[in-house]
């Protein structure tokens, strides 16, 4: 099969989630050729993950056709580990994707784990890995299949810079077709040769050739051009309407002239292009802090970590004062997420937390949210105090700043994209008025346009805060007063 042959073709595809009545695609048409490296670009909730599910056949179009090259193998790197895999060993986990016994399976496992910069025993069970380690295993599971079509959903989440470098090298050398959903612009620009842009407002797609940054510039230039054309047409329309009104009032033959001018105005309105709305950024926000707390928020005498498959106790002796921000570092699997979880529940040996403090906890898997509740109920239940005459009005106004529309408020949390769940979680913290914030990888799944706004909100937070993040650029923006590195003998820095 030549590189010019099409392996994926969407033809006038329409799709709507029947339960929520949410339109995702409306007349989407695009082609992907063999060997293409394509980025799926669009605002949170535009339908990027939905397109992946339609390519794999998990979802079917309501209207239109989807053609996948006959016999093409497809592998997807998912964001969250399926619970059904938890009891499997690493070796058994990788064996699930093969229909027959692979005699050199350990060699293949070693090769793909190296790509994601991860070393482990192949006899260890999946449930014993941290969320970040499980994400790396899911990426490696897709890579080991060497598929004709590789679908990667946020592959750089939980990868350090070395791991991202390994992945980029692999993708640049990979001869088969790759489609990627990611908010990591630098990563995308290094290997993408085309972009499929999903417009969250029109529910349509446009296809662009070129590297990621060039396409972003092209999309912005086209948007400005369309706006200028519309502005010119709008002036012509208004002039024709004004002149038509003058002629209509004069009567006689001028009424026919007036009619022709109105017809010309209607034609001009029909010619106005449907301008792509620029991806919006969430509004600047602040997370209000609980009042009336003492100077000391948390005292840490010692911490428990997992190292070399053994539980170890680390002497720390740190006090986190009200207003101070602490970064928690360490390699995947050492117990960072577990530590945050126990702190959030105030069940951590060696740590004393102010008993009056209210804790706001942002988990990277969003399990602090009830997926069966509506977004509206979730946010209403989070309100500590509100401004104005109406609690509901205050909630809706706050939610709109996080791009949470009326339609999203009526949706169940579980029906949202991962990026939208993240914005709901941040909105929830904004409404809570906590005295201690705990963040576990807060940039995962979040549109890169929102990250500077979020970083500024965390920087300005006046209470105590503990953060785990692998994104150094983000950490540099949020004001860190103390550091604990669990991977070092002297953990306090």
* Of residues 453 and 214, more confidently modeled: 453
CA distance 61 to 64: 6
Does the fold of domain 296-485 match that of domain 6-215? Answer: yes
pLDDT for res 275: 47
Q: Specify burial of residue 362 (Cβ count, 10 A radius: 0-12, 13-18, 19+).
A: buried
The model carries a pTM of 0.69
pLDDT digits (tens, 9 = 90+) for 196-208: 988 877 888 988 8
Q: How far apart are CA 435 and CA 416, in angstroms?
A: 28
pLDDT attached to residue 55: 95
- Average pLDDT rounded to a whole number, residues 337-359: 85
SS3 for 359?
strand
Cα–Cα separations (whole angstroms), residue 2 to 21, 175, 192, 205, 224: 41, 12, 19, 26, 37
Architecture of the domain whose range is 296-485: 3-Layer(aba) Sandwich (3.40)
Evaluated on CA atoms 37, 42, 48, 50, the torsion sign reads negative
Indicate the angle between helix axes 105-115 and 161-173, nearest 10 degrees.
Answer: 110
Sign of CA dihedral 468, 472, 478, 484: positive
CB 131 within 8 A of CB 366: no
φ, ψ dihedrals at 270, nearest 5°: -65, -25
pLDDT value for 188: 84
Residue 331 has pLDDT above 80, yes or no: no
The DSSP secondary-structure symbol of 126 reads G
Per the structure block, which two tokens stand in for 315?
Answer: 């002497």
Please name the residue ranges forming H helices in 100-211. Answer: 105-115, 131-144, 161-173, 185-189
Give 347 or 36, the one with higher predicted confidence.
Answer: 36
- Between 11-20, 88-97, 341-350, 395-404, the lowest mean confidence (pLDDT) is in 341-350
pLDDT at 36 over 80: yes
Q: For 359-391, what is each residue's pLDDT tens digit?
A: 999 998 888 999 999 999 999 999 987 766 689
pLDDT at 272 over 60: no
Task: State yes or no: pLDDT of 2 exceeds 70.
Answer: no
Cα 104 to Cα 118, 128, 191, distances in angstroms? 19, 24, 30
Helix (H, G, I), strand (E, B) or coil at 463: coil
What is the distance between the alpha carbons of residues 168 and 158, in angstroms, rounded to a whole number? Answer: 15
Confidence of residue 100 (pLDDT cuts 50, 70, 90): confident
Residue boundaries of the structural domains of the chain: 6-215, 216-270, 296-485
pLDDT(1) > 60 = no
3-state secondary structure 61-105: CCEEEEEECCCCCEEEECCCCCHHHCCCEHHHHHHCCCCCCCCCH
Region 158-168: what's the mean pLDDT? Answer: 77
pLDDT of the residue at 309: 61
Share of the chain above pLDDT 90, in %: 40
Segment 445-489, tens digit of pLDDT: 888 789 899 999 999 999 999 999 888 888 999 989 999 888 776
The closest alpha carbon to 307, from 339, 335, 348, belongs to 335
- Is the pLDDT score of 232 beyond 90? no
* pLDDT class of 348 with cuts at 50, 70, 90: confident
By CB atoms closer than 10 A (0-12, 13-18, 19+), residue 467 is: buried
What pLDDT does 492 receive? Answer: 59
Q: What does the pLDDT average to over 271-293?
A: 75
Superfamily of domain 6-215: P-loop containing nucleotide triphosphate hydrolases (3.40.50.300)
Q: Look over the chain and give the mean of its residue pLDDT values, rounded to a whole number.
A: 85
Percent of the chain with pLDDT over 70: 88
Residue 371 is predicted with a pLDDT of: 93
Residue 277 has pLDDT above 70, yes or no: no
Task: Please give the Cα distance from 425 to 23 (Å, whole number).
Answer: 24
Does residue 12 have a pLDDT over 50?
yes
Q: Are 6 and 207 in contact (CB under 8 A)?
A: no
Is 70 exceeded by the pLDDT of residue 491? no
């Amino acid at each position: 099969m030549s590189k010019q042959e099409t392996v994926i073709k969407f033809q006038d595809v329409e799709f709507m989630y029947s339960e929520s009545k949410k339109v995702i695609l409306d007349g989407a048409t695009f082609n992907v050729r063999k060997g293409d490296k394509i980025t799926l670009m669009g605002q949170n909730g535009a339908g990027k993950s939905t397109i992946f599910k339609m390519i794999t056949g998990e979802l079917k179009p309501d209207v239109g056709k989807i053609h996948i090259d006959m016999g093409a193998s497809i592998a997807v790197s998912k964001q969250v580990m399926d619970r059904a895999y938890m009891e499997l060993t690493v070796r058994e986990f990788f064996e699930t994707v093969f229909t027959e016994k692979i005699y050199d399976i350990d060699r293949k496992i070693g090769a793909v784990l190296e790509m994601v910069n991860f070393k482990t025993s192949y006899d260890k069970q999946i449930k014993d890995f941290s969320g970040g380690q499980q994400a790396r295993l899911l990426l490696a599971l897709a890579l080991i299949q060497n598929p004709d079509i590789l679908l990667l959903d946020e592959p750089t989440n939980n990868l350090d810079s070395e791991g991202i470098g390994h992945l980029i090298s692999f993708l640049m050398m990979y001869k088969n077709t790759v489609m990627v959903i990611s908010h990591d612009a630098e990563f995308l620009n290094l290997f993408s040769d085309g972009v499929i842009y999903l417009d969250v407002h029109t529910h349509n797609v446009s296809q662009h050739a070129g590297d990621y940054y060039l396409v972003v510039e092209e999309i912005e230039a086209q948007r400005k051009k369309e706006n200028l054309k519309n502005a010119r047409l709008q002036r012509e329309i208004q002039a024709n309407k004004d002149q038509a009104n003058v002629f209509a009032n004069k009567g006689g033959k001028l009424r026919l002239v007036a009619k022709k001018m109105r017809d010309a105005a209607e034609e001009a309105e029909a010619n106005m292009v449907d301008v792509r709305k620029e991806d919006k950024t969430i509004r600047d926000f602040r997370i209000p802090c609980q009042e009336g707390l003492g100077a000391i928020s948390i005292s840490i005498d010692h911490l428990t970590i997992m190292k070399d498959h053994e539980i170890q106790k680390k002497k720390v002796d740190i006090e986190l004062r009200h207003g101070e921000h602490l970064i928690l570092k360490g390699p995947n699997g050492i117990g960072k997420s577990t530590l945050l979880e126990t702190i959030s529940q105030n069940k951590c040996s060696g740590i004393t937390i102010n008993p009056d403090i209210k804790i706001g906890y942002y988990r990277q898997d969003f399990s602090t949210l009830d997926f069966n509740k509506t977004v509206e109920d979730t946010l209403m239940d989070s309100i500590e105090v509100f401004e104005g005459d109406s609690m509901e009005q205050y909630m809706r106004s706050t939610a709109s700043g996080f791009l949470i529309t009326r339609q999203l408020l009526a949706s169940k949390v579980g029906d949202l994209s991962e990026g939208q769940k993240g914005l709901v979680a941040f909105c929830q913290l904004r409404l809570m008025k906590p005295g201690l914030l705990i963040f576990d990888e807060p940039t995962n799944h979040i549109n890169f346009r929102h990250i500077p706004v979020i970083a500024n909100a965390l920087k300005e937070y006046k209470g105590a805060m503990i953060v785990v993040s692998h994104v150094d650029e983000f950490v540099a923006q949020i004001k860190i007063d103390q550091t604990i590195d669990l991977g070092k003998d002297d953990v306090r820095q």
